[in-house]
Amino acid sequence: MKDFNGKVAFITGGASGAGFGQAQVFGRAGCRIVIADIRQDALDDATSRLRAEGIEVHSVRLDISDRAAYAAAADEVEAVFGGPPQLLFNTAGVNSFGPLENATYEDFDWIFGVNLNGVINGIQTFLPRMIASGRDGHIVTTSSMGGFAGSATAAIYNATKAALINLMESYAITLPKYGIGASVLCPASIRSNIADAQDTRPAHLAANSGFRSDEAFIELQRRLYSGGMDPVELAGHVKRAIENNDLYILPYPETKEAVRAHFEKILDAFAARDSDPEGAQQRAQAFEEYRAEAAKTAGSTK
């Protein structure tokens, strides 16, 4: 996709941070912007700032973990703009830190509910509408460099982000036949307010947590993210990736060697010497035959 003029872009977490940067960059490129966020005060402020730039914008208050609310938001977008978005940015996310062994069900439910289920809800809600429209499109999901490895203190967050990488790799395989691209953005650090994500945690999931949420720790996180990449700069990388139809958006070269070392450990774990090379060859052939047959029949299973 090279021309963004007049296209509708739906951005979750669009009232601040990476989402607001995307709203600015794609709005300046001519997109009609929909920002969705759970915080009405942030939506109001972001809407005013975007309109001051001359950007056409519509705001929707949305809890992305609520499927019924997502469907209503999609209906509202179609009512306002006459059709579904051509650009879907799954940008909203939350985090909480603490030793994994201290995690509660509520910690898992909140982080998975927003970071993974929220993305699933967005794609499941909009993708059928995007396909039915017959127009070109692109879906960008924000994962994290943390999705490439485990973590002692951000384990749940990293697990959700790993799932998103794999999910978008799968969409990149399946969506081109519809004229829809797929990309996964993996930031390392963004100048954002994710340190204050606890403010949006529902009461029934906040009462029992094994992780830290005291003001001193939150302030430490604020200082960490204050040195992150500017959201507008990050959104510029996203725009170029869409123009080039790139799957991976990895604009943090300082993390490359750590990723390389991680995958080298995985490769080193393969047996150095196969005791049954003929059997391995037969298994590989059988698997390739299965993959080819599955690819031919997948379209007829629905």
Q: What is the DSSP letter of 97?
A: B
* pLDDT, position 288: 87
- With cut-offs at 50, 70 and 90, classify the pLDDT of residue 302: very low
Three-class DSSP category at 277: helix
Q: How far is CA 167 from CA 208, 272, 299, in A?
A: 30, 30, 18
* pLDDT, position 301: 44
Q: Taking residues 215-228, what's their average pLDDT? A: 68
- With cut-offs at 50, 70 and 90, classify the pLDDT of residue 213: low
Give percent of the chain with pLDDT exceeding 90. Answer: 73
Model confidence at 250: pLDDT above 60: yes
Interior/surface letters 9-34, b for 16+ CB within 10 angstroms, e for the rest: bbbbbbbbbbbbbbbbbbbbeebbbb
Dihedral through CA 31, CA 195, CA 209, CA 154, nearest 10? 90
* pLDDT, position 200: 83
The residues that are catalytic are 157
Across 83-92, 98-107, 206-215, 240-249, least confident range: 206-215
* pLDDT, position 294: 76
Model confidence at 225: pLDDT above 80: no
Select the more confidently predicted residue: 15 or 290. 15
- CATH number 3.40.50.720 given to 8-270: yes
The predicted-structure confidence for 114-128, as pLDDT tens digits, reads as follows: 999 999 999 999 999
The predicted-structure confidence for 92-109, as pLDDT tens digits, reads as follows: 999 988 899 999 999 999
The predicted-structure confidence for 257-282, as pLDDT tens digits, reads as follows: 999 999 999 998 886 666 677 777 88
* pLDDT, position 165: 98
Select the more confidently predicted residue: 198 or 79. 79
The predicted-structure confidence for 27-85, as pLDDT tens digits, reads as follows: 999 999 999 999 999 999 999 999 999 999 999 999 999 999 999 999 999 999 999 99
Model confidence at 300: pLDDT above 60: no
Is 51 within 8 Å of 58 (Cβ atoms)? no
The pTM (predicted TM-score) of the whole model is 0.91
Backbone angles phi, psi at 159, to 5 degrees: -65, -40
Interior/surface letters 70-101, b for 16+ CB within 10 angstroms, e for the rest: beebbeebeeebeebbbbbbbbbbbbbbbebe
* pLDDT, position 290: 80
End-to-end CA, the chain: 28
* pLDDT, position 283: 82
